[in-house]
Structure 1
Amino acid sequence: MAQMTPRERVLKALRHQEPDRVPLDSAGCSATTIAAEPYAKLKRLLGITGGPFIVYDVLQQLACPEQWYLDRFEVDVIDATREFSLDTSQWQDWEISDGSIAKIPPWIRNLEREDGGWVFRAADGTILGRMPAARHFFDQVHWPLADAGVEEYDHPERYMPDMLWAAMARHPGPLARDPAYPDLLRKATKKLYETTDYAVMLNTGLSIFETAQFLRRTDNVLMDLLTDRKNLERLLDRILEMNLAALDRLLTASGPYIHIVKVNDDWGMQEGLLISRELFRRVFKPRHRIMYDFIKQKQPGVFIFLHSCGSIYEVLGDLIDIGLDIINPVQTSAANMEPERLKREFSRHLTFWGGGVDTQRVLPFGTPEEVEADVARKMRAFAPGGGFVFTQSHNIAPGVPPQNVLAMFEAFEKHRDYPVR
């Protein structure tokens, strides 16, 4: 088979056909990238010096890899908003956990040292997030609707500035709320579409269940589902309305130039669902259906990508039913998420975008030989017939040895060509 472009390769895989080789995503979105610390260590291992060291997502401490990374590992997917992170002339210096100096966005202000760690404050001084000493990401510590009356559920947008995930937003940050942003996004995605061969992913960050938790706090939302569902659904409907308005704005600007639209909602834990399948079907499935239908009506031909961690086997059929195309991160170390089982039962309808190597045990704690063996097994399970894009099960986290990161990419290169063996 003739060599394909990255875009051709990804699109053929998404159509459940075998391309020339398995596509690779690394840094196409905020769930398939590499954290700042392992990125710095990988550069040192490879002897790469200089260049901008960008931490575009300060909350999760995620790096925006440089072009050498995309070229060296032959990445096939690119983040539609990547360009907004490349001009760091106004960005601030930030010392990451290993002592390396990186650049962080200028809108991340009110960071203060506390007991060897960091706190992030709102403009009024409220602490929104903490990163304790020896930790590698910020924990949310303030939930603006945790103690709110139900009358406040009608206007969650008023409280978004005090929600950590909005206040510490990754690129493009506050620019996304600027009236000029749609035109800037249109120009950025058009440039990627016309001047590169990458498949372009729009990483929206939109969710329903998660956003409710970020506003109300997880324990409150779980109790609300059982004791006050009517009022919780009032909040969920307002979140859905906000999401549809955001999608309308984003897709109007970028629609002709993107191939994949990413949304989020974590329903899984290690051993099963966070809520019952019945509650999922009653409360969240209908609202995600509305969101997916809107995306496909607004921009026919795009593929919908859902990031949902953990053991979500029980609801994969429901997600297929409402039009989902792609599932990520494919946490194969969770219960009932064995790659062979997933491929056998769902591969006619779902593309598995992830699951290429176990990030809970093998990548951080295994040997390079064990990493290669895990990659080879996952490739043999997921790749036949297409419907697979290789990436690890979630981001490459702090503590992962750079030798194992390199072993993952080398094993992928060794096994990526079709027919996969």
Structure 2
Amino acid sequence: MTSRERVMASVAHKEPDYLPMDLGSNVSTGISGMAYGNLKKYLGMTEGHTRIYDVVQQVALPEDQVLDLIGADVLDIARTYNTKDEDWYDVTLSNGNTAQWPSWFKPEKLPDGSYNVYDIEKTLIARMPNKGMCFDQMYFPYKEDYPDSYEDLDRQMGKVLWSAMAHSPWDHQRDFATEDEFYSDMRRRCLELRNSTDKALMITCGCNLFEWGTFLRRMENFLMDTYADPENVIALNEQLMERHLHMLEKVCDAVGDVVDILRFGDDLGMDTGMFMSLEKYRTLFKPFHTKLNAYVHEHSGMKTFLHSCGSIYPVIPELIEAGYDILNPVQTSARDMDPARLKKEYGRDITFWGGGCNTRRILNLGSPQEVYDYSSRMIDIFYKDGGFIFNTEHNILPDVPPENIMAMYKAVENARK
């Protein structure tokens, strides 16, 4: 099988020729710039660059030589953007490693070593403290209350760091005079990538609903809104859906026959349980999630991928009914997320993309042998009968030793024999 065939067979719940694996197909299955730089040093790789393509989380875009070494099977279409040296500039990360930020990203460095990000209107929208590892949101447009009118919603969404500091391809929308030109260019790039690789391709579209509520209202306010003000939650979701469906129309038309997987995001869980009751999910969010999946499935050949962290065991049947094909990151360290039970109960209905190694206690704190043994156990649980793409439980963070990363990939390599 080719990498693409291997991935898509597993998503179709057929056991492929060997275990498919992902590093960096999107900004939740990747590796921090600090950890990536350390990994390259450990491997003796002196060529190339550590390029931070997701500046919010400070996540690096893995290079071809690294992906080929570990045998990764999926690519983010973001790699077709910012391909020239002049698209980047050197920075020093808080661990002392040299990396590169995209040329459009110019935060203000303060005397204490922290960074501030301002939008074009001089609003402080994001900050990274000295020795920090990611940027924090500083501006919440509707923190005080919902607006009387949503005429200004696009502008306010553009002041949220996840939009203002978006990764490729979305950081290039501003480069084109019209929307159609942007999507025409996207199609050209994706076709070139597909014709140059046998790996599966993924595009990130977000289309968050619950998360956008927290970005606009702040977490504590929006959580209370789901119970105290559900009418405004629904009204906001309807406004968001107009924008999401418009984008999906453009994406499906441009690359729906070229890209294999479309990534959505909406974190629904904490370590100890869901952010809301099942009843609240069913009434406030599931109808909209169902529409998003239906649109993609009806207007493209792409499979849908949901990134949703935390303890989400109770809602998995609802997510399957809503039409999601793939679930990530499979945070088995959270409450009720036992991997064997997940595979037994839902392994035939949804693909688990992740869960391959615990990033909180094992990958960063364990010995290489402990990492190898843990990853091997997860492969034994998840891999049978397909429906599994090996990946960590979210991104590989800065404190992970490179020898542990390679021990994890050794488990993948041995499972492929």
Same fold by TM-score greater than 0.5: yes
8 Å CA contact 1:271, 1:311 repeated in 2? yes
The 3-state SS of whatever aligns with 1:78 is: strand
1:119-198 pair list within 5 angstroms? 119-153=116-150, 155-177=152-174, 178=176, 179=178, 180-198=181-199
8 Å CA contact 1:371, 1:404 repeated in 2? yes
Write out per-residue CA displacement over residues 207-239 of structure 1, whole angstroms, 9 at most, x where no aligned residue.
Answer: 111112111111111111122211221111111
Write out per-residue CA displacement over residues 80-99 of structure 1, whole angstroms, 9 at most, x where no aligned residue.
Answer: 22110322313222211222
Write out per-residue CA displacement over residues 156-185 of structure 1, whole angstroms, 9 at most, x where no aligned residue.
Answer: 212122111111111234423532210111
Alignment-mate amino acid for residue 80 of structure 1: I
Are 2:55 and 1:54 equivalent residues in the alignment?
no
- Partners of 1:176 and 1:292 lie apart in 2 by 24
Quote the residue 1:90 is aligned against: 87
- Partners of 2:265 and 2:170 lie apart in 1 by 18
Are 2:266 and 1:265 equivalent residues in the alignment?
yes
8 Å CA contact 2:210, 2:285 repeated in 1? yes
8 Å CA contact 1:209, 1:265 repeated in 2? yes
- Partners of 1:268 and 1:376 lie apart in 2 by 26
Quote the residue 1:315 is aligned against: 315
- Partners of 2:126 and 2:392 lie apart in 1 by 27
Quote the residue 1:234 is aligned against: 235
After superposing the two structures, state which structure 1 stretch, 351-360 or 188-197, moved more: 188-197
Write out per-residue CA displacement over residues 65-108 of structure 1, whole angstroms, 9 at most, x where no aligned residue.
Answer: 11111111111001122110322313222211222222211221
Pick one of 8, 11, 27 that aligns with 2:24. Answer: 27
Quote the residue 1:405 is aligned against: 405
Q: 1:135 to 1:349 in 2, by over 3 A?
A: same
- Partners of 1:324 and 1:263 lie apart in 2 by 9
- Partners of 2:38 and 2:409 lie apart in 1 by 15
Q: C-alpha root-mean-square deviation of aligned residues, in Å?
A: 1.4
Quote the residue 2:249 is aligned against: 248
8 Å CA contact 1:81, 1:185 repeated in 2? no
- Partners of 1:215 and 1:77 lie apart in 2 by 32
8 Å CA contact 2:90, 2:98 repeated in 1? yes
Alignment-mate amino acid for residue 358 of structure 2: D
The 3-state SS of whatever aligns with 1:327 is: strand
User: Residue 149 of structure 1: CA displacement?
Assistant: 4.2
8 Å CA contact 1:200, 1:260 repeated in 2? yes
The 3-state SS of whatever aligns with 2:116 is: strand
- Partners of 1:187 and 1:81 lie apart in 2 by 13
Write out per-residue CA displacement over residues 378-412 of structure 1, whole angstroms, 9 at most, x where no aligned residue.
Answer: 00100000000001110000111111111111111
8 Å CA contact 1:154, 1:238 repeated in 2? no
- Partners of 1:114 and 1:312 lie apart in 2 by 42
**TM-score, length-normalised on structure 1?**
0.95
Unmatched tracts of structure 2, length 5 or more: none
**TM-score, length-normalised on structure 2?**
0.96
- Partners of 2:108 and 2:80 lie apart in 1 by 25
The 3-state SS of whatever aligns with 2:100 is: strand
- Partners of 2:111 and 2:135 lie apart in 1 by 13
- Partners of 1:152 and 1:310 lie apart in 2 by 34
Quote the residue 2:62 is aligned against: 65
Q: 1:67 to 1:400 in 2, by over 3 A?
A: same
Quote the residue 1:202 is aligned against: 203
Alignment-mate amino acid for residue 5 of structure 1: T
Pick one of 57, 73, 76 that aligns with 1:79. Answer: 76
- Partners of 2:236 and 2:185 lie apart in 1 by 31
Are 2:278 and 1:281 equivalent residues in the alignment?
no
Alignment identity in percent?
39
8 Å CA contact 1:356, 1:375 repeated in 2? yes
Quote the residue 1:333 is aligned against: 333
The 3-state SS of whatever aligns with 1:262 is: strand
Alignment-mate amino acid for residue 383 of structure 1: Y
1:342-361 pair list within 5 angstroms? 342-361=342-361
User: Residue 148 of structure 1: CA displacement?
Assistant: 4.3
The 3-state SS of whatever aligns with 2:117 is: strand
Quote the residue 1:41 is aligned against: 38
- Partners of 2:116 and 2:408 lie apart in 1 by 34
1:9-28 pair list within 5 angstroms? 9-28=6-25
- Partners of 2:153 and 2:111 lie apart in 1 by 30
| Equivalent residues, number | 413
Write out per-residue CA displacement over residues 16-49 of structure 1, whole angstroms, 9 at most, x where no aligned residue.
Answer: 1111111011011111111100000011111111
Alignment-mate amino acid for residue 255 of structure 2: S
- Partners of 1:392 and 1:342 lie apart in 2 by 16
Alignment-mate amino acid for residue 88 of structure 1: D
8 Å CA contact 1:192, 1:198 repeated in 2? no
8 Å CA contact 1:35, 1:398 repeated in 2? yes
8 Å CA contact 1:309, 1:330 repeated in 2? yes
Alignment-mate amino acid for residue 103 of structure 1: Q
Unmatched tracts of structure 1, length 5 or more: none
Write out per-residue CA displacement over residues 239-263 of structure 1, whole angstroms, 9 at most, x where no aligned residue.
Answer: 1111111111111111110111100
Alignment-mate amino acid for residue 97 of structure 1: S
The 3-state SS of whatever aligns with 2:85 is: coil
